Structure 1
Amino acid sequence: MAAKKKRVVLTDPRAIRALAHPARQRIIDELYSGRVLTATECAELAGLTPSATSYHLRALERWGIIERAESSTDGRERPWKAPATSLVVPNQPNGAGRLASQAIMRSNVDRMMEQFEELPSDDPWDGVSALNRSRLWLTKAETKQLDKDLLEVLDRYRRGRSAANHPAGTRQVSTLLAIIPTGKPPADD
């Protein structure tokens, strides 16, 4: 079995627009967690018909965001999987790519809120839920390094773990990292 790529990086605005649909994002989230799902299973997750879901799956496949997995044992439906362990959408400076990035971010924040609201108040893991919002004064180079450092930390915890393969006692934990410059750029930039 070939090793899975580490990341799929999307820079083409058309590929990024393909992510903007909430149903697609829900499917991507599950596939990139390590699950392998059929179109019917994806349809149930996304709340769509299998026919509509197949359309979305093919669109995601066209941009290399997902791919077909080996056929299932019954041969009726071919499952889908993520071609890498993570999907990266670098900030797009303008146009439709930037709007799609904003839509993706909004959808992810909404999904994180849903997950937090679904967590029972007596859940023994509730105490590890965390939110850290910071305002930092960084140079452009420091900001790029911060992004690299944060991805390395996540990769360290992601390595070798998926929905199908993880140590006993582990639980899926959602994270959301966003780095967004605010204010006006310095005059020398």
Structure 2
Amino acid sequence: MAPRPPQQKVVTLTDPRAIRALAHPARQRVIDELYGGAVLTATEAARLCGLTPSAMSYHLRALEKWGIVARDEAGDDARERPWRAAARDLRIEHTAHGRSTPMATKAFTSTFMAPMLEELEAWADSDRRGKDDGTAMSRGRLWLTTEEAKALVDQVVALMEPYEERTAADHPAGAAQFSSFWSLLRRPDDAAAE
């Protein structure tokens, strides 16, 4: 089944309960696939996660409750409707995370960091390492005002937007999948002017 583009641009989670809904590894795995452009039935998602279709249906419904995933139009088999990402991008509003529970903190970090670590390890173990294929990694420190930080985020989002609209079914010939992990985090030990 060809992937369909999500209906909205961004889903921003602001409720700590929605962040906690991300805490299960199977949910994180299926979110990664769906936000990567896949459209999956509960059976297909269950196979990816090593769960039963009924268990995966439970997880998908929990994610649907918070607007993270959505049911897609029925395919050829009306008995099992496919699921898709509710948007192209999933964000967690930093104010929602706040100083909430340890479970919300774990869900917050594992949703974003675990997939990145897995992909970095897979890349390091692959034969792609060392080849000039466009892969780049960078880490550094910037000194920014709050206004500059917000402007930088807006600029990066604008730069990436034309590429995020591409899907598995609609991309230029010769295009390869790249995972993008980008963050701008204020250091928690920085007591500079608020």
Instruction: Report TM bin, short chain.
Output: 0.7 to 0.9
- Is 1:14 the counterpart of 2:17? The answer is yes
1:28 is matched with which residue? 31
User: How many pairs are equivalent?
Assistant: 186
Cα deviations across residues 39-78 of structure 1 (Å, max 9, x unaligned)?
1110111222212211111100111100111112122211
2:8 is matched with which residue? 5
Secondary structure at 1:128's aligned position in 2?
Answer: coil
Query: Given that residues 5 and 85 in structure 1 are in contact (C-alpha distance below 8 angstroms), is that contact kept between their aligned partners in structure 2?
Result: yes
Distance 1:165 1:105, change over 3 A: same
2:116 is matched with which residue? 109
Distance in 1, Cα, partners of 2:121 & 2:183:
18
Distance in 1, Cα, partners of 2:129 & 2:16:
43
Gaps of 5+ in 1: none
The Cα RMSD (Å) is 2.3
The 5-angstrom pairing of residues 44-63 of structure 1 reads 44-63=47-66
Cα deviations across residues 114-168 of structure 1 (Å, max 9, x unaligned)?
4414532489x65422111010111111111111111111112212x11232221
Provide the TM-score with structure 2 as the length reference: 0.85
Query: Given that residues 6 and 85 in structure 2 are in contact (C-alpha distance below 8 angstroms), is that contact kept between their aligned partners in structure 1?
Result: no
Provide the TM-score with structure 1 as the length reference: 0.87
Distance in 2, Cα, partners of 1:86 & 1:3:
9
1:143 is matched with which residue? 149
Query: Given that residues 68 and 78 in structure 1 are in contact (C-alpha distance below 8 angstroms), is that contact kept between their aligned partners in structure 2?
Result: yes
Query: Given that residues 66 and 81 in structure 1 are in contact (C-alpha distance below 8 angstroms), is that contact kept between their aligned partners in structure 2?
Result: yes
- Is 1:172 the counterpart of 2:177? The answer is yes
> Deviation at 1:174?
0.2
Secondary structure at 1:108's aligned position in 2?
Answer: helix
Among 158, 181, 184, the alignment partner of 1:152 is: 158
Distance in 2, Cα, partners of 1:113 & 1:122:
10
Secondary structure at 1:9's aligned position in 2?
Answer: strand
Gaps of 5+ in 2: none
Query: Given that residues 6 and 87 in structure 2 are in contact (C-alpha distance below 8 angstroms), is that contact kept between their aligned partners in structure 1?
Result: no
